[in-house]
Amino acid sequence: MSLYGMMRTGVSGMAAQSTRLGTVADNIANSGTNGYKKASVEFSSMIIPNSGSSYISGGVATQVRYSITQAGPIQYTTSGTDLAVDGNGFFVVQNSNGQPFLTRAGSFVPDGEGRLVNAAGFQLMGYSYENGIPSTVANGFAGLVPVQISGQELQATPTTIGNFAANLPYAAPDWTGVDLSTNPANPVGLDEGLEDGSVIKTSLVAYNNVGEEVLLDIYFAKQTTGEWQMSVYYQPDGTAGSSFPYSGPALATGTLEFDISTGKLDAASMSTLTIDLTGLNGQAIDLDLSKMTNLATGYSRGTATMNGNSPSAVERISIAKDGVMYAEYANGARTPLYKLALATVQSPDMLRVEPGNVFSAGLESGNVQIGFAGGGGLGDILSGAVENSNVDIAEELTNMIESQRNYTANSKVFQTGSDLMDVLVNLKR
């Protein structure tokens, strides 16, 4: 039985080295595949219990492992839709049947329908901004949709939020004229008030539902120390020369109250003014005024922003490191479209390797957990970059030579056992 066991052990060794050579072949073949994770073979002994003076040989068992947690080098490209994960996490993709997978292969390009697909045809998934700022479903793929872009569509986005920050002069005289919020006819002393700082006028541009510009005149009139009245009018309604009276009422009015000890807005003051543009085919705008100040210096304007844009075609797509995908229009406007999700599992190296350079979760890897880039231990998303294979060609060639020699040695063991078996069979002849 020992000769037969010797031959069986030799076959076991050849089979193990053959498996190792198979992983070496795959690794070398995929050394240029983006996001590929190299395979390796771990050996363990198979020992058969022995007793007495005879020895019964066992063999060797193999287990294939993938170095999934070992990141490959980052290579930068000229395409903004090429993506890489700098740190932990996997992109979520789906096949043509809608089945989700995980991958690190981020060489995405738009297909004929504008969906971002990688070289294996898997579609990139993300959370849409259509229903507001997205949030993750932590323990599943629900809510994720294919990321779809198109550079040919015209899009107009109405203004819904804005920010306005400025310093209103603390030492300005009180406005003694009529209440500007009532849309008075030709208010006496307005020009003088604009000169001495008791009235401040500025303008903002917003956009209605069809992308038409809506010009807004904003007046600040000082009522008393630390108190300013604010009024907003539609500029085209103004009268030539003095603007007042406007042909329509004020779109919004309110009072800013400042803490004279700090020059900042008082806690009891309004900090947001809602400007209703529904009568101008627009939306209600929440104008953030929380950064307004009332300091002993002249009028100076800080941040003045409004979201929304006029009709414009998408010029390019940009992706921030937190995974937010923006459409950048020819007019300079930028709109968030999707927020890309990253997935992780408890044991990434135990993920099941599937065709197409993707992975799926199993009992050994643990359940998939979804999050956003830069949080919860997940890495950042790099745009204009791809992760190369983590294969080291020099190491693989060394492994190939070593496996070849070990295979030859095991074959010699089998051949020796076969020769001795022939001798044993032929003893009677």
For residue 313, name the pLDDT band (cuts at 50, 70, 90): confident
Nearest to 389 by CA among 33, 76, 77, 26: 33
Report the domain count for the chain: 3
Q: Are residues 171 and 297 in the same domain?
A: yes
Domain boundary residue among 254, 278, 302? 302
Residue 399, CA distances (Å) to 66, 316, 404 in order:
15, 46, 8
Mean pLDDT of 189-198: 94
Q: State the amino acid at position 260 in one-letter form.
A: I
Beta strand pairing call for 369-372 and 123-128: unpaired
Mean per-residue pLDDT, 309-337 = 84
Query: Does residue 422 or residue 185 have the better pLDDT?
Result: 185
pLDDT at 165: 96
Does residue 329 fall inside a structural domain?
Answer: no
pLDDT band at 152 (very low <50, low <70, confident <90, very high): low
Q: What is the pLDDT of residues 344-367, one digit of tens each?
A: 999 999 999 999 999 999 899 999
pLDDT of residue 310: 84
Residue 240 has a pLDDT of: 86
Whether 165 is in a domain gets the answer yes
Structural contact between residues 343 and 336, judged by C-beta atoms closer than 8 angstroms? no
Which pLDDT belongs to residue 149? 83
Domain of 193 in residue numbering reads as 161-302
- Mark whether 140 and 236 lie in a shared domain: no
Its pTM stands at 0.67
What average pLDDT score do residues 256-269 get? 95
374 and 406 share one domain: no
**Would 103 be classed as within a structural domain?**
yes
Q: 336, 325 in Cβ contact below 8 A?
A: yes
The lowest-confidence range among 10-14, 164-168, 269-273, 415-419 is 415-419
Q: Which of 284, 302, 320 is the last residue of a domain?
A: 302
pLDDT digits over 48-65, tens only? 777 667 777 778 888 899
